[in-house]
Chains A and B, each alone.
Chain A
Amino acid sequence: MTNLGTGNPAIRLENVEKSFGDHVVLQNVSLSVGAGQVFALIGPSGAGKSTLLRCINLLERPTSGSITVDGVTIQTDHTIKPKELAALRSRVGMVFQSFNLFPHMTVLRNIALPQQRVLGRSRADAEDRAHALLGRVGLADKASQYPARCSGGQQQRIAIARALALDPKVMLFDEPTSALDPELGLEVLTVMRELADEGMTMVVVTHEMQFARDVSDHLVVMSDGGILEEGDPHDIFSGPRHARTRQFLRAVVDRQ
Chain B
Amino acid sequence: MSTLWSDLVTYADPLMEGLWVSLQLTFMTLGLGLPGGLVLAIAAASRSRAIGMVATTLVELGRGTPVLVLLLLVYNGIPLTLPAFVAAFIALAISTAAYSSEIIRGGLQAVPEDEVEAGQALGMSRAHVLRDVIVPQGLRIAMPPLVGFCIIMFQATSLAYVIAVRELTAQAKSIANETFHYFNLFLLAGALYAALSISASVLNQRAEKRLNRHA
Q: Looking at chain B's contact residues, is the secondary structure mostly helix, strand, loop, or mixed?
A: helix
A102 touches B115 (CB 8 A): yes
Given contacts A89-B121, A94-B121, A96-B114, contact A117 B137 (CB under 8 A): no
B124: interface (CB < 8 Å): yes
B122 contact from A82, A103, A162, Cβ within 8 A? A162
Provide the residues of chain B in CB contact with A57, threshold 8 Å. 121
Task: Judge whether A90 is part of the interface by a CB distance below 8 angstroms.
Answer: yes
Query: By the criterion CB–CB under 8 Å, are A113 and B123 in contact?
Result: no
B118, A90: Cβ atoms under 8 Å? no
Chain B residue at minimum C-beta to C-beta distance from A91: B123
A102 touches B122 (CB 8 A): no
**B117 lies within 8 A of chain A by Cβ:** yes
A89-120 residues with Cβ-Cβ distance < 8 A to B are 89-90, 92-94, 96, 98, 100-104, 113-114, 117-118
Are A89 and B114 neighbours in the complex by a CB distance under 8 Å? no
On whether the beta carbons of A114 and B120 are closer than 8 Å, the reply is: no
> With A102-B133, A148-B215 known to touch, is A59 a contact of B120 (CB < 8 Å)?
yes
A89 lies within 8 A of B137 (CB): no
| CB–CB A114/B117 < 8 A | no
- By size class, the interface of chain B is 20 to 34
Chain B residues, Cβ within 8 Å of A100: 112, 114-115, 117-118
Decide: A104 near B137, CB < 8 A? Known: A98-B114, A148-B215. yes
Q: Are B122 and A166 in contact, with the CB atoms below 8 A?
A: yes
- Chain B CB within 8 A of A163 CB: yes
The reply to whether the CB of A86 lies closer than 8 angstroms to some CB of chain B is yes
Which residue from B120, B124, B125, B137 sits with its C-beta under 8 Å from A103? B137
Since A59-B120, A102-B119 are in contact, a sample of 9 more A-B pairs with Cβ atoms closer than 8 Å, ordered by chain A residue number, is A57-B121, A86-B125, A89-B123, A100-B117, A102-B118, A103-B215, A114-B122, A117-B124, A118-B124
Residues of B that sit less than 8 Å from A by CB: 112, 114-115, 117-125, 128, 132-133, 136-137, 140, 214-215
B-binding residues in A (CB < 8 A): 57, 59, 82, 86, 89-90, 92-94, 96, 98, 100-104, 113-114, 117-118, 146, 148, 159, 162-163, 166
Can you show 19 pairs from A to B with CB atoms below 8 A apart?
A89-B121, A93-B121, A93-B122, A96-B117, A96-B118, A98-B114, A100-B112, A100-B115, A100-B117, A101-B118, A102-B132, A104-B136, A104-B137, A104-B140, A118-B123, A146-B214, A159-B118, A163-B121, A163-B122
